[in-house]
Structure formats: C-alpha cells, structure tokens
Chain A
Amino acid sequence: MIGIDWFLALSALLFCIGIVGVLIRKNAIVIFMCVELMLNAVNLSLVSFSSHYGNIDGQILVFFSLAIAAAEAVVGLAIIIAIFRNNLSVDISNINLLRW
C-alpha cells in the first residue's frame, strides 16, 4: 500500500516543474499553463491529506480552488488577448510597458 508521503512528493515534484516552466518559458500562454499545473499539484496534496485523515474539508477546498482556477483562467486569457491586440505578440520579453 502506498503511503501519503509518496503523494506529497509527487505533488511537490509537479509544483517544482511548474516553477521551472514559469521561469524559463517566454510564451505568456505557456506560463499560464504552468501556473495551472502548480494549482493542480497543490490540489493533489489537499486531496491526499483529506483522504488520509478521513476529513472532507480538504476536498471542499479543492472544489473551491477549481472554481477560482476557472475564473482566473478566463480573466487571464482575456488579458492575454488584449495584450496581443496591442502588441501583436505574447512573448513576455516584448511586454515592457511598465518596466523602467
């Protein structure tokens, strides 16, 4: 039988892959997908704690975080579309309007 620590380690690994992806990619959409990956990794650890303690609150929290992720994806993609319309690119090194 596999213990909870394996689930936690897998969740940590996915989270770190997400971090590296956010740091090395330049395409704004892919960066956004890496953020979704990190959200999912945290969801996995919440669900594993919830199942192992036999307490349902963790799964409710995952349900709410799914809804937040949907809202965030919608607004973020709308912002990306607006940036693309002004800039004709989603490369984040071209988006430097607020950089000094």
Chain B
Amino acid sequence: MITYSFIFLAVLAVASALMMVISKNTVNSALFLVFNMMSLAGLFLLLQAQFLAVIQILVYAGAIMVLFLFVIMLLNVDEEQSLFNKLRLKYFVAFLLGVSVFAQILYSIGSFSDTLPMISSKMAEVGTVEAVGDVLYTKYLLPFHIIAMLLTAAMNGALMIAQHKVRTEDNK
C-alpha cells in the first residue's frame, strides 16, 4: 500500500514539476507548483512527518503561492512564446547539464546505498507535533527567535523595496 502511494505521489510530483517548467503561461506554472507542493506534502505524510506535511500546505501552498499569484496578476505578464518553437542549443545544453547532475547524484547514492539505514522503528514518534515542538522550544530556542527576527526584517525590507515613491509637489 505504501509502495503504491509512493509511486502515485512520485509520478504526480515529477509530472507537475515538468509541466511547471514547460508550460508557457505563468499562472499555469504557479498552479502546477501548488500541485507539486501538495504531492510533496503527501510524501511527507508517508514518511510520518505529519507536522511538516501540514506546514508545507499552510506555508507553501497557502501563503507563498498566494504571494506568487498576486505578483503575477499584478504585473500582468504577457505570455512568452512556446519553448519549443525553435530548438536552440541552449535547451540542449541545459538538458544535458541536468541529466549529468542527476547521474552524478544517483551514482553517489548508489556507492553508499548499502550503508543507508532501513526504516527506523522510531519513525512514527519522530514527526508528531509534540516531538517537533518539544525540540523546537528547548534545544532550538535561539534559532527559532532568530528566524522570527529574520522574518520581520524580510517583511520590512520587502516593503522598502517594493514601495512606490510618490512624488508630490512639496517634497520635490
């Protein structure tokens, strides 16, 4: 059962990622990315990381993608022409690079795959909200607060960068 759901979710994730890269409409790309996030959340559930699965949907598919869609609609980007109208050398080189990086990673995984762990027996108790929260508020308390400050700083920075300078007559 777990094997079948893994295959289903993996095919869904890879297909939506590919469609995101090749679809020429930006809004469609964003929606395919949401699809991809959803299937990754399903994979997290398979790995018994319930907390991260919920956070993945809430933060990524909820907040970040809404931001992306908002910006896409705001900028009113016109459609690019299709990627495959004319075959360019660039696409071929990019594809070759991607395949070679993938082959390298697979080769390095294969060389140590017999030292990789089997499924841990503690797997079910690792990913619960209690377990994550317990570590987060004791061992990782300082990084947690630093992240909070970083988010505030990022929000202020984004407001500063994106604000429109209103030129009125008196402060010119």
**Chain A positions within 8 Å of B21 at CB level:** 17, 20-21, 24-25, 30, 34
Evaluate whether A90 and B98 lie within 8 angstroms (CB atoms) in the complex, with A33-B68, A37-B20, A70-B151 already known.
Answer: no
Query: How many Å lie between the Cα of A63 and that of B131 in the bound state?
Result: 13
Q: At the interface, yes or no: A95 with Cβ under 8 Å from chain B?
A: no
**Chain A positions within 8 Å of B98 at CB level:** 16-17, 19-20, 23
A-B residue pair count with CB separations less than 8 angstroms: 224
Nearest 3 pairs of A and B residues by beta carbon = A54-B120, A54-B122, A71-B154
Contact with A along B110-152 (1 / 0, CB 8 A): 0001001111111100110001100110001001000100110
B120 touches A53 (CB 8 A): yes
Query: How many Å lie between the Cα of A48 and that of B71 in the bound state?
Result: 33
**Chain A positions within 8 Å of B158 at CB level:** 74-75, 77-78
10 contacts between A and B (CB under 8 A): A2-B3, A12-B106, A17-B98, A19-B101, A29-B26, A33-B20, A56-B131, A66-B56, A70-B64, A73-B67
Evaluate whether A44 and B113 lie within 8 angstroms (CB atoms) in the complex, with A12-B105, A66-B56, A77-B67 already known.
Answer: no
Evaluate whether A27 and B75 lie within 8 angstroms (CB atoms) in the complex, with A10-B13, A59-B49 already known.
Answer: no
A71 touches B150 (CB 8 A): yes
Q: What is A's interface to B at a CB cutoff of 8 Å?
A: 1-10, 12-21, 23-27, 29-30, 32-34, 36-37, 40, 43-44, 47-48, 50-57, 59-60, 62-64, 66-75, 77-82, 84-85, 90-91
Given contacts A6-B10, A48-B47, A74-B155, 15 further A-B contacts (CB under 8 A): A9-B109, A25-B83, A29-B75, A30-B26, A33-B29, A36-B64, A44-B43, A50-B49, A50-B127, A59-B52, A59-B132, A64-B143, A70-B63, A71-B153, A77-B67
| Residue with the highest number of chain A CB atoms closer than 10 Å, among B55, B60, B93, B101 | B60
Evaluate whether A52 and B20 lie within 8 angstroms (CB atoms) in the complex, with A9-B109, A60-B140, A77-B71 already known.
Answer: no
Q: Which residues of B from 23 to 79 have beta carbons under 8 Å from A?
A: 26, 29-30, 33, 36-37, 40, 43-44, 47-49, 51-52, 55-56, 59-60, 63-64, 67-68, 71-72, 74-75, 77
Evaluate whether A2 and B127 lie within 8 angstroms (CB atoms) in the complex, with A9-B109, A50-B49, A75-B154 already known.
Answer: no
**Chain B positions within 8 Å of A67 at CB level:** 147, 150-151
Q: Which residues of B from 148 to 172 have beta carbons under 8 Å from A?
A: 150-151, 153-155, 157-159, 161-162, 164
With both chains docked as a complex, state the minimum distance between the C-beta of B16 and any C-beta of chain A, in angstroms.
10
